[in-house]
Structure 1
Amino acid sequence: MLLAIDAGNTNVVFALLDGRDIRARWRIATDPRRTADEYAVWLNQLLMLEGYSIGDVDAVIIATVVPRALHNLQVLAEKYFKVTALVAGQAPAEWGVELDVEEPASVGADRVVNVIAAHHLYEGDLIVIDFGTATTFDVVDYQGSYKGGIIAPGINLSLDALVTAAAKLPKIAIAPPENRSVIGRTTEAQMHIGVFWGYVAMMEGLVARIRSEIGRPAKVISTGGLAALFDENSDIFDAIAPDLTIMGLALLHERSLKN
């Protein structure tokens, strides 16, 4: 079975796959100081709870946007799973797609993996929105080439910055306001409107601008923890793909076996 690891800025997601079928998934806060031994103790217990063992894993693939986290994850694969981990974007798990941007090496691994999966799953021009620490908009054309995109502060980052900078503003949850009015009558209501509907307006406005620039119809695919929440309050999404990154890693692993 394949252990796919997506190391992001906030969390590291581990997914156990049988082919392309996800059998289990877990997440832990990203900490580059966490050792391979610590990962192994944590994973071993979770595997057993799902009825698996370390011995069931015969391949590991890693995508990371946190370079300092990579080494310990590679040691985890070698020491406990007895395999050499594939690293997304490196031989033999090269991208296999054109990165048609000025600085291809600077594109985050998670974004390229998302593009690979989105192009595999959906036809035509695509806009992939990933709600993570940052919210990213990635454009992939109908041929599967990555054309660029947008990086915006994640909604949690935006809220944290607002609360930190303004002493009298309270901490609020990320949730839709009680109604669709955009005239708040309390401080908390005004914050909910500004954060939530402001974010929806930002997404809708950027998607409209991207579509206009592409000049062709483009489907919008969303992924990440808040995708479903925003889908309930906006009609810009054509599909929700919560496991897009993991699917992309599974596809990269399949390609590596053919190389």
Structure 2
Amino acid sequence: MLLAIDAGNTNVVFALVEGREIKARWRIATDPRRTGDEYAVWLHNLMALEGKGPADIEAVIIATVVPRALHNLEVLSTKYFDCDPLIAGHDPVSWGIQLDIPEPGSLGADRAVNAIAAHALYPEDLIVIDFGTATTFDVVDYSGAYKGGIIAPGINLSLDALVNAAAKLPRIAIEAPEGNMSVIGTTTESQMHIGVFWGYVAMIEGLVERTRAEIGRPAKVVSTGGLATLFDEHTRVFDAIEPDLTIQGLAMLYERSKS
């Protein structure tokens, strides 16, 4: 069984994968100071609830956009799972796709893995949207080449900046405004909901429209990340939702390394 680890800026996701089937997944807040020993105590307990233990792990693969977190995840792998971890983007799990951008080394591991997985699932022109700490839009052409993309502040990051900068604004939940879908709010809270939620929907729809126009061909929109399902209920811009796209991509990279 494969232990796939996706270390993002906000959370680290651990998943048990058999073939390409995800058997279990857990997440913990990203903290570069968290040691391999601390990860092990937390993870072993969760694995035990699924009837699994360290002996079930045959390999570990890691994708991270937090360089300081990598060492402790490597310690977790070698000390507690007796595996030298595979690091996504490094031999023997190099990307294997064309990165058609001036500085390929600057591309986040999660975005490259998403591009690999999305193209494998949908071999056509794609716009891959990932709702994370940042909201990223990645363009992958029909050959699987990565062509570039967009980075925007994540919706939670935008809300935090708004609340922290304006003393009288309350903290609100990320959810669709209730009621008749009016975009004219009558209370502070309703106006914030409208601005944050519908403003974000408008950004997504507008950037997708502009990106499709620049590509010049029909492009399927594939969405992933925790908020993808919420936004999917209120826009028709998404063609497919893949909640575990990054983990799927890591499983594909692992399969490729074996061959």
Cα deviation code 1:173-200 (max 9, x no counterpart): 0000013110001110000000000000
Q: What does 1:85-104 align with in structure 2 at a 5 Å threshold? A: 85-104=85-104
State the 1:55 CA deviation. 0.8
Provide the rounded CA distance (Å) in 1 between the counterparts of 2:6 and 2:255: 17
State the 1:204 CA deviation. 0.2
Cα deviation code 1:153-212 (max 9, x no counterpart): 000000000000000000000000013110001110000000000000000000000000
- 3-state SS of the aligned residue for 2:93? coil
Provide the rounded CA distance (Å) in 2 between the counterparts of 1:190 and 1:44: 45
What amino acid is aligned across from residue 238 of structure 1 in structure 2? D
Partner of 1:111: 111
Provide the rounded CA distance (Å) in 1 between the counterparts of 2:121 and 2:28: 28
Partner of 1:195: 196
What amino acid is aligned across from residue 3 of structure 2 in structure 1? L
Q: What does 1:11-50 align with in structure 2 at a 5 Å threshold? A: 11-50=11-50
Provide the rounded CA distance (Å) in 2 between the counterparts of 1:176 and 1:102: 39
TM-score, reference length from structure 2: 0.99
Provide the rounded CA distance (Å) in 1 between the counterparts of 2:227 and 2:214: 26
Provide the rounded CA distance (Å) in 1 between the counterparts of 2:110 and 2:47: 24
Partner of 1:144: 144
What amino acid is aligned across from residue 168 of structure 2 in structure 1? K
What amino acid is aligned across from residue 228 of structure 1 in structure 2? T
State the 1:124 CA deviation. 1.1
What amino acid is aligned across from residue 239 of structure 2 in structure 1? D
* Kept in 1: contact 2:8–2:30 (CA 8 A): yes
Provide the rounded CA distance (Å) in 2 between the counterparts of 1:76 and 1:91: 20
- 3-state SS of the aligned residue for 2:258? helix
Cα deviation code 1:62-111 (max 9, x no counterpart): 00000000001011111110010000000000000000001100000000
What amino acid is aligned across from residue 209 of structure 1 in structure 2? R
- Between the two proteins, the alignment pairs up a number of residues equal to 258
Partner of 1:209: 210
State the 1:122 CA deviation. 0.6
Q: What does 1:136-175 align with in structure 2 at a 5 Å threshold? A: 136-175=136-175
Provide the rounded CA distance (Å) in 2 between the counterparts of 1:65 and 1:40: 21
What amino acid is aligned across from residue 176 of structure 2 in structure 1? P
What amino acid is aligned across from residue 140 of structure 1 in structure 2? V
* Kept in 1: contact 2:123–2:144 (CA 8 A): no
Unaligned runs of 5+ in 1: none
Provide the rounded CA distance (Å) in 2 between the counterparts of 1:98 and 1:75: 31
Provide the rounded CA distance (Å) in 1 between the counterparts of 2:92 and 2:141: 25
What amino acid is aligned across from residue 224 of structure 1 in structure 2? G
* Poorly superposed stretches of 4+, deviation over 6 Å: none
Provide the rounded CA distance (Å) in 1 between the counterparts of 2:104 and 2:123: 23
State the 1:123 CA deviation. 2.5
Partner of 2:81: 81
- 3-state SS of the aligned residue for 2:195? helix
TM-score, reference length from structure 1: 0.99
Identity of aligned residues (%): 76
What amino acid is aligned across from residue 205 of structure 2 in structure 1? E
